[in-house]
Amino acid sequence: MPALPHLASGKVREIYEIDADRLLFVATDRISAYDVILTQPIPDKGRVLTGVSLHFFDLLDTPNHFLSTDLSAIEGVDDREREELAGRAMVVRRAEVIPIECVVRGYLYGSSWKEYQAGGGPTTEHLPPGLKMADKLPEPIFTPATKAQSGHDENITEDQTRQILGDDLYEELRRRSLDIYSRASDYAAERGVILADTKFEFGHADGELVLIDEVLTPDSSRYWPADEWQPGHPVPSFDKQYVRDWLDSTGWDHEPPPPDLPDDVVAGTRARYVDAYAKITGRSFTDYLAGR
Ligand code: PZK
C-alpha cells in the first residue's frame, strides 16, 4: 500500500523496502481458515498480531529485528497511509533470512500428531510411544521445517536440518528457540493460556543472529485456553475456532472460493482476536490502540 518498493507478500503480511538496512513489516487484516484466505478482512486483526509481537519482543529481550513503530520519518508514507498503518507496521532491521522454520512443540498436535499416528515422522523421532492427541510432551521439542514450493511447510529430521545449517548454527537455533518457547509458555501459563506450539524465524544482521518476522502471535502459534485442554480430544483454537465453526455450518468443502462472512461473524471474530490480545498480554487492546 505505501509508495515503497514491495519486497515480499505472505498470506496475511506484506514487506516493503525502506532503504538498504530497513524494511517495513505490515500485518494486514486478512484471515486464513483451512489454508484459504477469506474474502472479508477482520478489522484490527493485523493490529492485534502486531501488538502481540511487540509485547514479546519487549518481554523476551532477545536480539531481534524490531527497530520502531514510528513512521513519521519514513519517506514514501503519506498521512492517510500512516493512519492505516498505525499499530500494524514495524520498521525492522533487514536481515539475511535463514531458510528454516524453527518450530517448538510442547504438546502433540497438528502435523506432528498426524505423523505420530501414522507410525512416526521427522517431528516424532525423539518421542516415546503411547502418547495421545494433545498430550503434553515430556519436554518441549525442536521440530524444524522448510518452506516447500506448495507453500506448505515440510517437517524435516534433525539430520536434514544439520546438513542444511551446519552443526553450530543448528545448535544455536535449537537453543534459542527452546529458550524463547520456555519463557513464553511460562508467561502464558500464568494467564491460564497454554502455548501448545510456535514457529520462529531467524536471520543474520551485522553478524548477529536475530529473531525476525512476527513472534508468538495467534497466527504463528497454537494458543489454547487451559480450561478447555483435555488430552485425547481436539482443543478449540482461541482465535479461529469461532470462524471455522461458522464456515463448517455452511457445509463449505474448504476449496476456494470461501463463503462470504456475515457482518456478525466478522464482528464476533474481531472480538475474539481482541480478547486473545488481552488474555495473552495482560493488557487492554483499547490501550494498545490509544498508544499508537
Ligand atoms: C523477510 N520474509 C518472510 C514474512 C512476507 C514475507 N527482517 C527481515 N529481513 C529480511 N527479510 C525478511 C525479514 C523479516 N521479517 C521475511 N521475507 C523476507 C515474510 C512476512 C511477509 F511477505
Mean pLDDT of 7-12: 96
Ligand 1 near 8 CB (within 6 A): yes
Q: Where are the alpha helices (DSSP H) in 154-262?
A: 158-165, 167-189, 241-249
Helices 158-165, 167-189: crossing angle, 10 deg rounding: 120
Please tell me the residue having the least CA distance from ligand 1 atom 14. Answer: 213
Over the stretch 262-271, which tens digit does the pLDDT of each residue have? 999 999 999 9
Among 92, 213, 219, the mutation site with the greatest number of ligand 1 atoms within 8 A of its Cβ is 213
- Rounded to the nearest angstrom, the distance between the alpha carbon of 122 and the centre of ligand 1 is 26
Ligand 1 near 23 CB (within 6 A): yes
Ligand 1 atom, smallest distance to 8 CA: 22
| H or E element, residue 178 | helix 167-189
- Rounded to the nearest angstrom, the distance between the alpha carbon of 202 and the centre of ligand 1 is 10
Is residue 40 scored above 70 in pLDDT? yes
Over the stretch 75-99, which tens digit does the pLDDT of each residue have? 989 999 999 999 999 999 999 999 9
Q: Show contacts of 156-164: CB within 8 Å, 24+ apart.
A: 156/122, 157/122, 157/125, 158/125, 158/126, 160/122, 161/100, 164/99, 164/100
Query: Amino acid identity of 54?
Result: L
Q: Check residue 149 and give its pLDDT.
A: 67
Ligand 1 near 199 CB (within 6 A): no
Q: Check residue 148 and give its pLDDT.
A: 77
Ligand 1 near 57 CB (within 6 A): no
Query: How far apart (Å, rounded) are the C-alpha atoms in residues 8 and 117?
Result: 36
Residues of the chain with pLDDT > 70, as a percent, come to: 99
Distance, C-alpha 239 to centroid of its chain: 12
Query: How far apart (Å, rounded) are the C-alpha atoms in residues 217 and 124?
Result: 24
Is residue 257 scored above 90 in pLDDT? yes
Over the stretch 98-154, which tens digit does the pLDDT of each residue have? 999 999 999 999 999 999 999 999 999 999 999 999 999 999 999 999 987 677 899
Over the stretch 46-80, which tens digit does the pLDDT of each residue have? 999 999 999 999 999 999 999 999 999 999 899 99
Is residue 2 scored above 80 in pLDDT? no
Report the SS3 class of residue 189: helix
Query: Amino acid identity of 72?
Result: S
Indicate yes or no: pTM above 0.95.
yes
Q: Check residue 147 and give its pLDDT.
A: 86
Ligand 1 near 92 CB (within 6 A): yes
Question: 242, 229, 247: which is closest to 109 by C-alpha?
Answer: 229
Q: Check residue 152 and give its pLDDT.
A: 86
Q: Check residue 3 and give its pLDDT.
A: 87
Mean pLDDT over the full length of the chain: 97
Ligand 1 near 219 CB (within 6 A): no
Among 6, 212, 215, 219, the mutation site with the greatest number of ligand 1 atoms within 8 A of its Cβ is 212
